[in-house]
Amino acid sequence: MVALLSAVLGSAVGTAGTFALLGGNDDPVPVAEPVVRVDDDEERVAPRLEIQASDGLDRVAAVAETVLPTVVMIEVNGGGPAGAPGLSGNGSGVVYRSDGHIITNHHVISGADDVRIVFSDGSRADAEIVGSSPDNDLAVLKVEDTGDLTAIQIGDSSQVRVGELAVAVGSPFGLEGSVTAGVVSSLNRLIPVTGPGGQQFNLPNVIQTDAPINPGNSGGPLVAGDATLIGINSAILTQGGGGTNAGVGFAIPANVAVEVADQLIEQGFVRQAFLGVAGMNVNREIAERVGVDEGAIIEEVVAGTPAADAGLRAGDVIVGVDDEAIDAMDDLITEIFNLDVGDVVEITYIRDGQEETVEVTLAEKPSQTTE
């Protein structure tokens, strides 16, 4: 999963805009619940739809009808940090299991003392925070009185294609049950974002979409044309510091969300692979100095980490992880993100003009101290 890499990624934002996590306010608008199926194992799950090439806008309507019962608005209230005013607002979430487990973003519930769920029929219930992963910007909530709760059908985000239909459902600006549609614009983006506590972190492998998402959509589902979950809406690219949609939104892939949610439900925390370096992309100045055109140059090796134990040091330029080329810090972050605690990887790096390799056993990332 996520590694401590702290890449310098300002150039990825530049003058184009700022990657912002989505906030919101609260003004619920209840919507009606359509018919759903019940699986043999009594887990109530919304159906997977068959796709016809001629469906057009009717397809979006069918997706909305199927998915809306699985989407909730999340109202939060909290005391705020010491000396700071209390917080209140809203985000979105999606029913993961019909026993009451709900997936949302970490930043939606971070710092909250009270969390309430508003269901699609307008009913409300208190929720407890089962667990939260700041590094993945994901959290799991639980409501006890589930009634006829319906879980979303989970898709395979590894099979998502650029250009396919993408439908976002959530509560932008507190407008519960809002549906917007677009396409999958790109895959496997890495975006730098700032968390609720001001800490910088990266979200790798995210899905980019032009389906309009805005503050309050956080934690809501991005679904495919067959009404299956392909992502959890998390961030948008804003222009000039504004907080509204610019046609560039980002969702955490469903496969990542499911893995994280299962760990949070089972053990209350997420084990994440950890290398232990901070670095930046090789730019022209660095290339002239070290004689390498591409790669991730290490600026700091954290003491006592796998990188330190393997003998990596500041100034080394990582150019490969196993069989994958590392052309930039983004690549290194993504590669470590996709690995597990205990994996043994071969790091290829350049030191003093010579290519060298070393095996590194990835450790478990320590808990964040900035939250």
Q: Any residues with CB less than 8 A from the CB of 293 and at least 6 apart, and which?
A: 282, 287
- Evaluate whether 329 touches 295 at the Cβ level (below 8 Å): no
Buried b (16+ CB within 10 A) or exposed e, 135-159: bbbbbbbbbeebeebbbbbbbebee
101 is catalytic: no
Annotated active-site residue in 137, 210, 226, 330: 137
Whole-angstrom distance, CA of residue 172 vs CA of residue 90? 9
3-state class of 287 per DSSP? Answer: helix
218 is catalytic: yes
Annotated active-site residue in 92, 106, 107, 132: 107
Q: Any residues with CB less than 8 A from the CB of 276 and at least 6 apart, and which?
A: 3, 4, 301, 302, 304, 305, 306, 307, 308, 363
**Placement of tokens 């810090």 in the chain:** 329
- Evaluate whether 2 touches 368 at the Cβ level (below 8 Å): no
Beta bridge partners of 183: 165
Whole-angstrom distance, CA of residue 330 vs CA of residue 281? 8
Strands 317-321 and 114-118: unpaired
137 is catalytic: yes
Annotated active-site residue in 171, 185, 218, 234: 218
Beta bridge partners of 90: 75
Catalytic residues: 107, 137, 218
